[in-house]
Amino acid sequence: MTRREFLRAVGTFIVVAAALRWKTVVALAMKPRQAYPPLPSEVRRGIPGKKFVMVIDLAKCDGCRKCTQACQAMHFTPAPREWIKVYQMQDSPTAAPYWFPKPCFQCDNPPCTKVCPVDATFKRQDGIVLVDNERCIGCRFCMAACPYTARFFNWGNPSHTSEELATPYSPEYGFPRRMGTVEKCDFCPHLAREGKLPPCASVCPMGAIYFGDQNEDAVTNGQGETLRLSELLLDRAGYRYLEDLGTQPRVYYLPPKNRRYPAPPKVLEVSHAT
Amino acid sequence: MQPEQSADAAAEELLRSVRQTSRKGRLWIGSLVAVCSFGLFAYAIQLIHGLEVTAMREYVSWGLYIATFIFFIGISHAGTLISAILRVTHAEWRRPITRMAEAITVIALLVGAPMVIVDMGRPDRLLYVIRYGRLQSPILWDVLSIATYLTGSLLYLYVALIPDLARMRDQCTAIAGWRKRLYRILAIRWHDTPAQRAHLEKALGAMAVIIIPVAVSVHTVVSWVFGMTLRPGWHSTIFGPYFVVGAIFSGTAAIITAMAVFRRVYHLERYIALQQFRNLGSLLLTLSLLYMYFTLSEYLTSWYSAESIDVKLLKNLFDLHRYGFDFWVMAMLGLFIPTILLILPKTRTIIGITTASVLVNLGMWLKRYLIVVPTLQTPFLPVQGVPSSWIRYFPTWIEWSIVAGALAMFLLLFTLFSKLFPIVSIWETLEDTSDVPTT
């Protein structure tokens, strides 16, 4: 075969292949620049000017666990893994029982990112702590370091839905998941970029979960109620769980005073709340 | 050495184990290779299916592998540290045991450090630790410290081996060609000239001093992997010294065990005698008492002040239905009984001291397990609505097989080392200037 013949053969092959696959070629050429996933540098920096914060009103939470289900559906989280988990709490045998939804606290002094040997889990300017499963080496030091059991591990090969696999990976939503890597609640920054609430907040039928921006001093719940963060925390005596540990969580709780639902049954195991 | 024996005859005797391997020896090596292979097979399964094949889950996210890692790194302290301290203090009785002590260090590090890789979810990303390494993470401190210690101990072992390598180059003629070449290259033209001797002594003296702080740093930073967290039972200021004492403790026990085995198998009764056992036995006794003291300080303070999360941990650790039984087995077999064996004049025999050492090694392994697992089962938040497998932990056959394989690998490397190189330092033993009879 001469050089000319070879080139002709290759050219013909390309033309024929392109003709057979013309749909793909056209789709590739017409494809708009995807907003998601954001560039890796944007993912690590965070959304400029924001300081995300969550407020959970324990007086409203009736333990229906819709937040957990919505979160699992959005992140394709396999049960029984719960990025936001609703605990049944009672601080002492004489204290009142209450429901306690617990996401990742996105601590401002995160014990998890401190210990990560490869910067796979990191703190962003907008206050969010994320995990990059393309970087994680699976040493699980962050899991041992987190006092809130907020982190989970893909021990085996995770099963994927086709919808999950069709999405390009981003640490901003954490899927498709990979074997041997850590994952956790991420405050859904990919939805925040669109000005949307995380599903846990938007589906809560009681409007117990408020999400917002500390810089704007505003938080909103799923029922569209927007409140001043500073006033809310002041009026309702907002507190952070295990403040003594010095982790500076970005999740605030409003004490379960004047509950709007029947109290949960008493718990056998007394929790270690402050 | 006994005076009637000439230096050449002694050297010949010490080289015997290098020259030939008995049938029993080959059988031993063969069975070790079999156990190692089974461990590798188990690891292959783990590589394919992920850490799912272990019993580790969300709460107990570290288990047998990490406990074994701490155990081996602890054993590694034996060697170089003790050999270095004894060299620095000119303890003449050290001479026949320095080589095996130094070999324990290198081999325990070679087997122990990879236990962390076995524990990794993504061993394929191992080099990320170098590529993206963050010095803020205690894991990086471990990597740097253990790498330095391994390099230092290898050099220290090698430099002290050079005169013996030259002896083998010159005297072992009836051996395989590759071994002749190995000895010739490794002996780096050693001809035992006074100038070479002076260099060697100087180098060993300097290295002995340098290696001591490095060894202390190793187990300190290993403890800090736990001490730097906010978890009950780990977040303890005494963890650094507690681990260092524990490491020297288990390391000394490992040397004594190795001494007893090699003495018997290679018939070294003339060189390794009651004196070595008694002296190391006294050291072991001191360390045992120190370790009891640290253990008491650790648990008594948290029990007395009774912070709620500490009380929860202590309940898990001391409840006989949970880890209480294991804890008291550790305390009795690993601390009290060895201490009594080492105190009573009647049991201060080679058999008594060796028994104490074996018990200490078992007890210290169990102690490391009790450091890692119960804390992970003591979260701040209540354990609710999760499968019991998330919070319970008992290693699977895969984990046991890999750990058994690692132990077999340790014994195998130690055996092979003693087949390639004299396990008693010939030149140092011949140089013995003490008048005290060793038998």
A135 lies in the same domain as A188: yes
- Written as one letter, the residue type at B197 is R
Residue A145 in this model has a pLDDT that exceeds 70: yes
Q: What integer pLDDT is reported at residue A260 of this predicted model?
A: 78
Report the pLDDT value the prediction gives residue A25, as an integer from 0 to 100. Answer: 65
SS3 content of chain B, % helix, strand, coil (to 5): 75, 0, 25
In a domain, A44, yes or no: yes
> Which chain B residue shows the shortest CA-CA distance from A244?
B230
pLDDT bracket for residue B1 (50, 70, 90): very low
Show residues of chain A in contact with B381, CB under 8 Å: 87, 102, 148-149, 271-272
- B233 to chain A nearest CA, in Å? 12
Same domain assignment for residues A76 and A5: no
B-chain residue closest to A133, CA distance: B122
Domain extent, residue A4, equals 1-31
B388 touches chain A (CB under 8 A): no
**A3 and A87, same domain (yes or no):** no
Per the structure block, which two tokens stand in for B410? 């340790």
Neighbour-count burial of B362, counting CB atoms closer than 10 A to its CB (0-12 exposed, 13-18 middle, 19+ buried): middle
Which chain A residue's Cα is nearest to B117?
A139
Q: Is residue A138 part of a domain?
A: yes
Q: A86, A119, A137, A157: which to substitute to probe chain B, counting the most B Cβ within 10 Å? A: A137
Rounded Cα–Cα distance for residues A228 and A67 (Å): 23
Q: Complex ipTM, two decimals? A: 0.92
- Could you report how far apart the first and last alpha carbons of chain A are, in Å? 82
The answer as to whether A244 is a domain residue is yes
Nearest residue to B260 (alpha-carbon basis) of B345, B365, B351: B351
Chain A residues close to B229, C-beta within 8 Å: 111, 115, 144-145
Q: What percent of chain A has pLDDT over 70?
A: 91
Q: Are B329 and B336 in contact (CB under 8 A)?
A: no
Residues 148-207 of B with CB under 8 A from A: none
pLDDT in tens, A188-223: 999 999 999 999 999 999 999 999 999 999 999 999
d(CA B188, CA B166): 8
**Nearest C-alpha in A relative to B384:** A87
B61 contacts A140? CB cut-off 8 A: yes
Residue of B nearest to A140 (CA): B61
- B62: which chain A residues are within 8 Å (Cβ-Cβ)? 140, 144
Give the mutation candidate from B129, B230, B307, B315 for the A interface (greatest A CB count, under 10 A).
B230
Distance CA B104, CA B410 (A): 9
Whether residue A160 is contained in a domain is answered as: yes
Are A136 and A20 members of one domain? no
The answer on A7 and A68 residing in a single domain is: no
pLDDT attached to residue B434: 59
Asked if B130 is an interface residue toward chain A (Cβ–Cβ < 8 A), one would say: no
Instruction: Provide the pLDDT for residue A28.
Output: 64
Measured CA to CA, the distance from residue A139 to residue A117 in angstroms comes to: 9
Q: B121: which chain A residues are within 8 Å (Cβ-Cβ)?
A: 136-140, 153-155, 179-182
Domain-embedded: residue A263: no
Closest CA–CA distance from residue B138 to any residue of chain A (Å) = 6
Q: How far is B163 from chain A (nearest CA, A)?
A: 42
Token digits of residue A235: 């009026």
**What long-range pairs does B52-55 form, CB within 8 A, spacing at least 24?**
B52/A155, B52/A156, B52/A157, B53/A156, B53/B396, B53/B398, B54/A155, B54/B395, B54/B396, B54/B398, B54/B399, B55/B389, B55/B392, B55/B393, B55/B394, B55/B395, B55/B396, B55/B399
Of B120, B131, B143, the CB nearest to A138: B120
CB contacts of A154 in chain B (<8 Å) are: 50, 121
Type and span of the H or E element at A231: helix A229-235
Q: Given A119, A137, A155, which is nearest B52 (Cβ)?
A: A155
Picking from B121, B132, B230, the nearest residue to A118 by CB comes out as B132
Confidence at residue B179, expressed as pLDDT on a 0 to 100 scale: 93
Is B241 part of the contact surface with chain A (CB cutoff 8 Å)?
no
What does the block give as tokens for A64?
Answer: 């229906």
Cα separation, A134 vs A131, whole angstroms: 9
Amino acid A65 reads R
Same domain assignment for residues A153 and A178: yes
Please report whether residue A100 resides in a domain: yes
Q: Is residue A272 part of a domain?
A: no
**Beta-bridge partners for B366:** none
Percent of chain B with pLDDT over 70: 97
Tell me, yes or no, whether A17 and A134 share the same domain: no
Q: Is the pLDDT of residue B321 over 50?
A: yes
A63: left (phi over 0), alpha (psi -120 to 50) or beta: left
User: What separation in angstroms does the CA of A207 have from each of A64, A176, A204, B349?
Assistant: 12, 30, 5, 75
SS3 B367: helix
- Domain count across chain A: 2
Spatial separation of the C-alpha atoms in residues B289 and B278, rounded to whole Å: 16
| pLDDT at A13 (0 to 100) | 82
Q: Which residue of B has its CA nearest to A90?
A: B382
- pLDDT, tens digit, 9 for 90 and up, residues B122-180: 999 999 999 999 999 999 999 999 999 999 999 999 999 999 999 999 998 888 899 99
Mean pLDDT confidence for A150-160? 95
Alpha-carbon gap: A131 to the closest alpha carbon of chain B (Å): 14
% of chain A with per-residue pLDDT over 90: 73
Domain contains A209: yes
**Minimal CA–CA distance to B283: which of B73, B112, B89, B68?**
B89
Residues A156 and B49: beta-carbon distance below 8 Å: yes
Tens digit of each residue's pLDDT (9 = 90 or more) over A9-56: 888 888 887 777 766 666 666 665 555 667 888 999 999 999 999 999
Give the Cα separation of A137 and A34 in Å (integer).
Answer: 28
User: Does A1 share its domain with A49?
Assistant: no
- Do residues A105 and A13 both lie within one domain? no
The partner residues of A101 in beta bridges, in order of sequence, read A86
Together in a domain, A241 and A108? yes
Cβ pair B132:A119 closer than 8 A: yes
Domain shared by A105 and A77, yes or no: yes
Residues 6+ apart with CB under 8 A from B74: B219, B243, B246, B247, B249, B250, B251, B364, B368
Nearest Cα residue in chain A from B55: A155
Domains and CATH numbers, chain B: 7-378+389-430 (1.20.1630.10)
Answer whether B129 touches A (CB < 8 Å).
yes
The three state secondary structure string of B161-226 is CHHHHHHHHHHCCCCCHHHHHHHHHHCCCCCCCHHHHHHHHHHHHHHHHHHHHHHHHHHHHHHHHH
Is residue A17 domain-shared with residue A115, that is, in the same domain?
A: no
How far apart are the C-alpha atoms of B253 and B260, rounded to whole Å? 11
- A87 forms beta bridges with A100
Chain B residues lying within 8 Å of A109, measured CB to CB: none
Strand partners for A53: A212
